[in-house]
Amino acid sequence: MKITVSKSIIENILIYAQPFLEKKDTSQITSHVFIDVNNSNLTIKATDHEIGFEVKTDKINIISNGSITANGKKLLDIIRILKDGEINLEVKNETLFISQAHSNFKLPTFSFNDFPDFPTANDKGRITIDSHSLIESLKKITPAIDTNNPKFELNGALIDIKQDSINFASTDTRRLAIVNISNHSEKELSIIIPKKAIVEIQKLFFDDIELFYDDTNLIIHSKQYTFFTKLINGKFPEYSRIIPKEIANTLVLPKAIMIDSIKQITTISSDVKITFFQNSIKFESLSDDNIEAKTEINYNTGFKEPFVIAINSKYLLDFLNSINSSEFSIGLNEGNLPFILTDGTFKTVVMPIVI
């Protein structure tokens, strides 16, 4: 194998490949990228067995075909320190040589035949969804996905496909985030995608996409990339039961002012007590360290009697930072019962702090 390729092209591909590599154990072939030159194309793959990434480009000069693997992190480190312009990659005696002008590097390789196979879309079911709707929905629910929960299904997000809609849902047991979008599907389906995969999907896909699935994998194709992830095998909580069926009080609140007020309190404490008076809203820190923060805004809430809730500010800020509207609604029943934040088809149900 021998090629010349622009630094910007190979560097960009290797940057995208990094999250898919095994970095702790460099003796594993999954710490390597698979590089294949054939039929006028350069193909690069990376996988840690759980998620995988493949990209093809014809923007190279091929001198000879071939396949090789090389440590993905070390290769990127080398490419980064070279100057802009063409870079030479050549395989000799099962060693990868990287050169540019008077700079020369070499990396050991593993047998490319041992590189893990990627699942294919053959004989798999297909999901029809607009790429923009998918990415925007995943962005909104990502903050509520749990991490390292012994219930593995909570370490991912649910895509619940109905005949005329799709619900995206995630929960960390203290809050539940849901996005509902209109979408036609001939088959109803529920899959749970790991958080790591969801984060990478948001980085990779902007154009038209095709989604394929089976009981084990989800595969996404775009014009430039192919991505796969293992699915989480489990039963996601019955999220519809968590949403309050009735709301006693609904307020429409200004997003920017609420963010500013809450951030003032978070300089002292992440837990915030909010009191709704008839013509104002008061924000106070909840802290045991004999320090406090308070602020207040003038706002007609309509409450005849003071209404108090205490919340983890992160939950409210995550919601507010995920919406584009200048206003949002909050649905309240009692101070110690779950409340609901709403912006169009995006909802977050939050458990308050009991004080």
Q: What is the pLDDT of residues 82-135, one digit of tens each?
A: 999 999 999 999 999 999 999 999 999 999 999 999 999 999 999 988 899 999
Is the pLDDT assigned to residue 280 strictly greater than 90? yes
Query: What's the pLDDT tens digit per position in 288-307?
Result: 778 899 999 999 999 999 99
**Residues forming CATH 3.10.150.10 domain(s) in the chain:** 2-114, 128-206+230-241, 249-350
Q: Which CATH architecture has domain 2-114?
A: Roll (3.10)
How large is the average pLDDT for residues 270-284?
97
**Which CATH number among 3.30.300.30, 3.10.150.10, 3.40.50.300, 3.40.50.970 corresponds to the domain 128-206+230-241?**
3.10.150.10
How many angstroms separate the CA atoms of 149 and 154, rounded?
6
Tokens of 123: 């004989």
Q: How many CB atoms lie within 10 A of CB 236?
A: 20
For residue 186, is pLDDT > 90? no
Provide the H-helix boundaries in 82-237: 131-141, 195-204
Alpha carbons 58 and 251: distance in angstroms, whole number: 55
Mean pLDDT, range 273-302, rounded to an integer: 93
Task: Determine the angle formed by the axes of helices 313-321 and 255-265, rounding to 10 degrees.
Answer: 150
pLDDT at 184: 86
Amino acid, res. 347: K
Q: What are the tens digits of pLDDT across the range 307-351?
A: 999 999 999 999 999 999 999 999 999 999 999 999 999 999 999
Both structure tokens of 71: 């440590």
What beta strand segments (E) does 208-326 contain? 209-213, 217-222, 225-230, 249-254, 271-276, 280-285, 294-298, 307-312
- In this prediction, residue 130 carries a pLDDT of 87
Residue 226: pLDDT above 90?
yes
CATH class for the region spanning 249-350? alpha beta
Task: For 11-67, write each residue's pLDDT tens digit.
Answer: 999 999 999 999 889 899 999 999 999 989 999 999 999 999 999 999 999 999 999
DSSP-assigned beta bridge partners for residue 282? 275, 296
| pLDDT at 255 (0 to 100) | 97
Specify whether the CB–CB gap between 168 and 142 falls below 8 A.
no
